[in-house]
Amino acid sequence: MPAPSITANELRAAVPSLRAFAMSLCGNRDYADDLVQDTLMKAWGKMDRFQAGTNLHAWLFTILRHAFFSDRRKRRREVEDADGSYASRLTTIPDQEAHLDMEDFRKALMKLSADQREALLLVGAEGLSYEEAAEICGCVLGTMKSRVNRARTRLAVLLSVESESDLSTDKIILAALPMATEPTLQVG
């Protein structure tokens, strides 16, 4: 296959036409210059795909047009934030505290007796009714309620929880403690 017949001079000669076409597509001088530069870089890199004897300008315009619409599709999913004002409003709550709370809860949970821990996990974490938990554990309803109450009370002592304000937002911890059974507490 013969070497492509495009020269750097031919590409340079096409710049004014490419720039005018890019301006008509985007309406922004800086963006048009970027499009032209990208077009020339792509054309130079894919020179072997140009068919000698065909219209160089049409080939370059096609590359530019594809680049513009491809970039436009990509930008449609992006948020314009040149000054960083949008990004500065984005925050994430660090998860270290929640991790430490959960670790403290896990350690305290392991200090409970096996019966209390089982009862608390079935009712507090799994969301089973006292009746369902009693059936699973093979005990009477009153025994299950007593185990759950004792487990919650012991956890509150182990975690030094004196009021609702001492609680983190962790749903497992909220569900396991005595205040979680009060109707005023909202688990969010």
Identify residue 169 by its one-letter amino acid code.
T
Domain that holds residue 113: 96-181
CATH number, position 57: 1.10.1740.10
Report the domain count for the chain.
Answer: 2
Which tokens belong to 38?
């990208």
Please tell me whether residues 14 and 56 are part of one structural domain.
yes
What is the full per-residue pLDDT of the chain (188 aa) written as tens digits? 445 567 788 888 889 988 988 888 888 899 999 999 999 999 888 888 888 878 888 889 999 998 988 888 887 777 777 777 777 777 776 666 777 777 888 888 888 888 888 888 888 878 888 998 898 888 999 999 999 999 888 888 888 877 655 555 454 455 555 444 444 443 43
Is residue 87 one of the residues assigned to a domain?
Answer: no
CATH number, position 164: 1.10.10.10
Which tokens belong to 174?
């909220």
Residue given tokens 């956890």 in the structure block: 155
Total residues belonging to the chain: 188
Cα 155 from Cα 172, distance rounded (Å) = 12
Cα 62 from Cα 152, distance rounded (Å) = 71
Q: For the chain, what is the largest distance between any 2 Cα atoms, rounded to a whole number of angstroms?
A: 93
